[in-house]
Amino acid sequence: MKNIELIKNVTDSLLLVCDGARSKDESGFNKPDSDTVRKSYPDMITIAPLLLKYKTQIIYMGFDYDKLKIAVSEVQKDYTTNWNMHVVGFGKHSKSTYADMAENEGGYLSWMVQNFDDHGDGRWIAANAVLSNLPIPDSNDKKQNRTANEEKPKVHIRITKDKKNISIKSHFAAKDVCRSLSMRRWVNGVWISPISIIDEVYNVFNKVSDSFDLTYSSSFKDALVSHSETVGKSDKASSDFEVVNFGNGNEMFPFQKAGVEFIESIGGNGMIADQMGLGKTIQSLGYIGLHPELRPVVIVCPASLKYNWEREAGVWLENNDTIEIIKGGKVKPLTGDIIIINYDILKKWLNTLKKFEPRILIFDESHSIKNQKSARSKAAAELSKSVPHKLLLTGTPVLNRPAELWNQLQIIDPFEYPDNRFFQWHKRFTNATENRYGWDFSGSSNLDGLAASLKTIMIRRTKDQVLKELPAKQRTSFFIEIDNKKEYMTAKRDLQEWLSEQEHDGKSDRTLSVEHLTRIEYLRQIAVKGKMKEVIKFIKTFLEGGEKLVVFAIHKKVINIIMGEFERCAVKIDGSVSTEKRQEAVDSFQNDDKVKLFVGNIKAAGVGITLTAASNVAFVELPWTPAELEQAEDRCHRIGQKKAVGIHYLLAKNTIDATMAAMVERKRSIISEITSDTNSLKYDLFGDGN
């Protein structure tokens, strides 16, 4: 009786100040609890578990909270033996006892068990005691003995009409099995789970099949087979899948064909998460080429990659699509078949893009939209709502924690990942915990289950998996729009005027040559100056993927700008670094996981050192000769390197920067012909038009 007396005193004290959360918080019971307490009163055994959530108020009122916890624990034990004497205390049956409910409203009790918390809620304990066939006062002998004679509890599993979910209609006896599923909801008398966990559903129920009368619909069986086939395709590292209307004579690698096959098999809504350098751009263009009827196409990417997309589309697509690059400025109607826009201006163009009604939407470097609260993420989500086919490309779908996946998954398939599954998904995969500031989703949990659920929506291969298919070196050019065009064009005109004047000047060829090179070098430096912001963005994006990177430049000013941005994770070698310090820099880069970036002058660091800790090299400035270029490339491509080396040329578009790159490539092609070197490219890397 002391326990009941303590519980009653606490309840009365909270009721005295209770306003049902109508005017302010921290004043008695909240609205739902207030209703339950008033209807249940004076049934203290029903009320007891509700008190524990009001710890702050209870202590403030002078009660011993620890004693209250013990009292609540003691009285809860009565539910399993004395449940029949307690009233339900809420809803249309608020005045009924559980004994009445057992005889007349068994279905309602089943609903209570499915919906109330099983960790201390007295209503759940009482309802569960009834449904667990504890002694029930019942004059009907047949009813009293039904458990011994009834058949196995029935469970029927099928696919919903929208083909997005699994419906599990089950006897209450299967509640614990259903609750064990990683993602499930109770909706209108059935359990609903997303189709992405169909393997889990099948395996969970198959383990307990002896305990239930278990049936699967034909739609479920078909979906299970289809799911298995899709998972198989997501694991493929090679395929002979035919990609029609595509290539212009260029051949995809077998693993790239497998990527297109996977995207085609899931209806063009998924993620290509291959490691950087494996051709995610080409694979997504392969899907575009397969479907010339799906126009227009919108491609959203970082600004530094817009011209790379334009070039790759021109190389691979055979449909004569018109390509339109949005450069900012005034918003205007769109006319192209393929629209390329950067994330920075997506919000500004959102309404125009929505009216354009794209059929395919591609987000390159999609980890850029991992944060639901950012303006670009909100614009991306809004644009994607009405687009039937969405592809996300990223080498790093998760930079730090699983929570970064949610926004990307919602964009791909909002039906599979709706808002009402947010908490369930995060509790399952982020080890979500609640603290004084709210919910913390920064952790991780059940990673094997997460990986399995992604098999139907994502394909990922690493360089190690497809190494045999890759050439020793893969060269890629990235064309960058400079941000100082006026300054560059003025310097270019000055150079052209000077060249015109020299035709009638009497200076020696040697003198002219030196001055000519000086003026060209000045123009090159202006071009480099105009691309540095995008160069920094490129490096940041790359390093977010977790791999190491080697960056080469020529001028000390350029090297210092890069080091200024990345000094905490970078080392450098240029003319100012002593011999001893150079070896320390190399050793740090090779052996220290925290050192992610090596920045070197092409002459000072382009020979004699080994940088095989990285398999990617980026050039911000180019030397005059292909020999110097290849020597620098070979700091990573040498004995000890176990991966194909990706080489990235960061070039200022429509400037002397790109013209010089084309010149170096032509020299390399001539040398390759003479020496029978098969390492030259199959198509012009730089092109005269850039």
Rounded CA gap, 616 and 136, in Å? 73
Answer yes or no: is pLDDT of 20 > 50: yes
Average pLDDT over residues 232-240: 89
Q: H-helix or E-strand containing 23?
A: none
The per-residue pLDDT for range 60-85, each reduced to its tens digit, is 778 888 888 888 877 766 555 565 66
* Residue 285 CB burial class (10 angstroms; 0-12, 13-18, ≥19): buried
Range with the largest mean pLDDT of 222-226, 465-469, 604-608, 643-647: 222-226
Question: Token digits for 360?
Answer: 């395919």
Query: What is the CB neighbour count within 10 angstroms for residue 87?
Result: 21
pLDDT of amino acid 15: 78
Answer yes or no: is pLDDT of 110 > 80: no
Answer yes or no: is pLDDT of 92 > 90: no
pLDDT: which is higher, 652 or 97: 652
Average pLDDT over residues 118-145: 51
Answer yes or no: is pLDDT of 52 > 90: no
* DSSP string covering 450-481: HHHHGGGTEE---TTTTGGGS-SEEEEEEEE-
Rounded CA gap, 51 and 295, in Å? 60
Residue among 589, 519, 601, 593 nearest 555 (CA): 601
Rounded CA gap, 538 and 308, in Å? 13
pLDDT: which is higher, 263 or 511: 263
Range with the largest mean pLDDT of 120-134, 503-517, 552-566: 552-566
The per-residue pLDDT for range 161-200, each reduced to its tens digit, is 888 899 999 888 888 899 888 888 888 888 999 888 899 9
User: 3-state DSSP call for residue 358?
Assistant: coil
Long-range (24+ apart) CB contacts under 8 A made by 12-16 are: 13/61, 13/63, 14/51, 14/54, 14/57, 14/58, 14/61, 15/41
User: Which residue carries 């004699």 as its tokens?
Assistant: 608
User: Which residue carries 């070196």 as its tokens?
Assistant: 473
As a dihedral over the C-alpha atoms of residue 560, residue 564, residue 570, residue 576, rounded to 10 degrees, the angle is 30
User: 3-state DSSP call for residue 114?
Assistant: helix
State in Å, rounded, how far the first CA of the chain is from the last one.
89
The tally of CA atoms less than 13 A away on the side-chain side of residue 344 is 11
Residue among 41, 40, 20, 39 nearest 31 (CA): 20
Q: H-helix or E-strand containing 615?
A: none
User: 3-state DSSP call for residue 31?
Assistant: helix
User: 3-state DSSP call for residue 101?
Assistant: helix
Answer yes or no: is pLDDT of 389 > 60: yes
pLDDT of amino acid 61: 79
Answer yes or no: is pLDDT of 23 > 50: no
Beta-bridge partners for 81? none
Average pLDDT over residues 102-126: 63
Residue among 478, 475, 470, 535 nearest 668 (CA): 475
Answer yes or no: is pLDDT of 592 > 80: yes
Average pLDDT over residues 214-237: 91
pLDDT of amino acid 453: 87
Neighbouring residues of 381: CB distance < 8 A, sequence distance ≥ 6: 369, 372, 407, 410, 411
Rounded CA gap, 305 and 619, in Å? 15
- Please give the single-letter amino acid code of residue 328: G
pLDDT of amino acid 593: 94
Backbone angles phi, psi at 95, to 5 degrees: -95, -5
Answer yes or no: is pLDDT of 667 > 80: no
pLDDT of amino acid 51: 82
Omega before residue 414 within 30° of 0, cis: no
Length of the chain: 690
As a dihedral over the C-alpha atoms of residue 44, residue 48, residue 54, residue 56, rounded to 10 degrees, the angle is 90
Query: For the chain, what percent of residues have pLDDT higher than 90?
Result: 42
User: Which residue carries 């000769």 as its tokens?
Assistant: 625
Please state, rounded to an integer, the average pLDDT across all residues of the chain. Answer: 83
Domains and CATH numbers, the chain: 2-138 (no CATH), 151-225 (3.30.70), 235-468 (3.40.50.10810), 473-486+528-675 (3.40.50.300)
The per-residue pLDDT for range 488-512, each reduced to its tens digit, is 999 998 888 887 777 656 555 555 5
Q: For residue 565, what pLDDT band results from cuts at 50, 70 and 90?
A: very high
The per-residue pLDDT for range 595-641, each reduced to its tens digit, is 999 999 999 998 888 899 999 999 999 988 888 888 898 888 876 77
Rounded CA gap, 355 and 289, in Å? 23
Answer yes or no: is pLDDT of 408 > 60: yes
Are 257 and 239 within 8 A, CB to CB?
yes
Neighbouring residues of 390: CB distance < 8 A, sequence distance ≥ 6: 268, 269, 360, 361, 362, 363, 384, 411, 412
Are 603 and 632 within 8 A, CB to CB?
no
Strand 338-342 vs strand 323-325: parallel, antiparallel, or unpaired? parallel
Neighbouring residues of 145: CB distance < 8 A, sequence distance ≥ 6: none
User: 3-state DSSP call for residue 609?
Assistant: coil
Q: For residue 668, what pLDDT band results from cuts at 50, 70 and 90?
A: confident
- Please give the single-letter amino acid code of residue 33: D
Lowest mean pLDDT among 92-96, 214-218, 562-566: 92-96
DSSP 8-class letter at 684: -
Are 594 and 569 within 8 A, CB to CB?
yes
Answer yes or no: is pLDDT of 247 > 90: yes
Are 371 and 399 within 8 A, CB to CB?
no
* Residue 8 CB burial class (10 angstroms; 0-12, 13-18, ≥19): middle
Residue among 128, 213, 201, 206 nearest 159 (CA): 201
Query: What is the CB neighbour count within 10 angstroms for residue 51?
Result: 25
| CA 192 vs CA 40, 167, 188, 273, 409: distances in Å | 32, 5, 10, 29, 19
* DSSP string covering 548-604: -EEEEES-HHHHHHHHHHHTTTEEEESTTS-HHHHHHHHHHHHH-TT--EEEEEHHH
The per-residue pLDDT for range 499-555, each reduced to its tens digit, is 777 765 655 555 557 777 888 889 999 999 999 999 999 999 899 888 999 999 999
Rounded CA gap, 651 and 304, in Å? 10
Lowest mean pLDDT among 14-18, 347-351, 365-369: 14-18
Residue among 453, 460, 428 nearest 198 (CA): 453
